[in-house]
């Protein structure tokens, strides 16, 4: 038998929720909130736009959950009845953010040097009854030198927009004014200020000659005294033994 599709599952939840309100509350809590990217983006924006003296962030998140659940599942959740059900059962509201989202928020807060009360995700996480997020301890590899472990971590890939090569709207950044001035000088043939002009000429100095006055040294085969086969320097030319042997072999 084929598994029921999503529409059939939603219709089954709607039917059972009309009979038992706790079924709607359980479906409300088991909805994949962390996987709903659209909901996560809207909730994050609402949390950071909330004023400092606003109500609890958990109330803002609950109201947005109710609206999203009614939009997707077509089941309206009664806020007061839901809170009463949580109090009677001792259940906590579901976690709305993944651990890596909380870790990224903490890194951004530290990098921008803003007060901790701006960590709206972490505050909501605590208001829902969960302990403060603790990053997992780093596993130390003994084969990695200590200086390499202490080196700053940088991203291997930096998006072009983050590198500052374009404006937020995608257009290219303008060239510096100095660069435009140099281009204008080159196009009009004007002299560039601060650049020394060196003439492209060669000055002939009569005192300098390309021909040397010293005599070139003799080559090894030129250092003989009369006999081309005999050399006055030891180790060069033909030895006396070689001469005798050559004479004996002659016809």
DSSP string, 76-130: PPPHHHHHHHHHHHTPPPPP-S-HHHHHHHHHHHHHHT--GGG-HHHHHHHHTTP
pLDDT at 249 over 80: no
Q: Residue 75 contacts by C-beta under 8 Å, 6 or more apart in sequence?
A: 13, 14, 17, 24, 27, 28, 69
pLDDT at 81: 92
pLDDT at 44 over 80: yes
Measured CA to CA, the distance from residue 139 to residue 69 in angstroms comes to 40
Question: Could you tell me which residue, 85 or 246, shows the higher pLDDT?
Answer: 85
pLDDT at 8: 80
pLDDT at 176 over 80: no
The model's confidence at residue 53, banded by pLDDT at 50, 70 and 90, is low
pLDDT at 242 over 70: no
pLDDT at 205 over 90: no
The pair of three-digit structure tokens given for residue 227, joined into one six-digit string: 């006999």
Is the model's pTM score more than 0.75? no
Q: How many CB atoms lie within 10 A of CB 67?
A: 14
The pair of three-digit structure tokens given for residue 155, joined into one six-digit string: 């991203």
The pair of three-digit structure tokens given for residue 160, joined into one six-digit string: 């072009």
pLDDT at 172: 63
pLDDT at 232: 45
Q: In a 10 Å sphere around its CB, with 0-12 CB exposed, 13-18 middle and 19+ buried, how is residue 82 labelled?
A: buried
Please state the length of the chain.
251
Region of poorest pLDDT, from 4-18, 140-154, 226-240: 226-240
How large is the average pLDDT for residues 160-181? 64
Longest Cα separation, the chain: 133
pLDDT at 82: 93
pLDDT at 159 over 70: no
Measured CA to CA, the distance from residue 85 to residue 80 in angstroms comes to 9
The model's confidence at residue 133, banded by pLDDT at 50, 70 and 90, is low
């Amino acid at each position: 038998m084929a598994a029921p599709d999503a529409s059939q599952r939603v219709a089954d939840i709607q039917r059972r929720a009309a009979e038992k309100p706790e079924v709607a509350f359980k479906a409300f809590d088991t909805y994949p909130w962390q996987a709903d990217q659209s909901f996560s983006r809207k909730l994050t924006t609402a949390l950071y736009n909330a004023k400092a003296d606003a109500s609890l962030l958990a109330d803002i998140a609950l109201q947005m959950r109710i609206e999203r659940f009614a939009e997707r599942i077509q089941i309206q959740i009664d806020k007061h009845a839901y809170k009463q059900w949580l109090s009677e059962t001792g259940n906590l509201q579901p976690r709305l953010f993944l651990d890596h989202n909380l870790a990224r928020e903490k890194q951004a807060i530290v990098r921008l040097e803003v007060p901790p009360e701006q960590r709206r995700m972490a505050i909501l996480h605590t208001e829902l009854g969960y302990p403060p997020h603790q990053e997992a301890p780093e596993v130390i590899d003994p084969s990695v030198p200590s200086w390499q472990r202490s080196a700053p971590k940088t991203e291997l890939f930096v998006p072009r927009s983050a590198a500052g090569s374009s404006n937020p709207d995608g257009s290219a950044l303008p060239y510096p004014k100095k660069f435009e001035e140099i281009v204008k000088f080159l196009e009009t043939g004007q002299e560039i200020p601060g650049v020394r002009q060196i003439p492209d000429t060669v000055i002939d100095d009569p005192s300098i000659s390309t021909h040397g006055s010293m005599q070139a040294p003799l080559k090894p085969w030129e250092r003989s005294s009369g006999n081309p086969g005999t050399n006055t320097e030891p180790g060069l030319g033909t030895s006396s033994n070689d001469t005798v042997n050559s004479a004996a072999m002659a016809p």
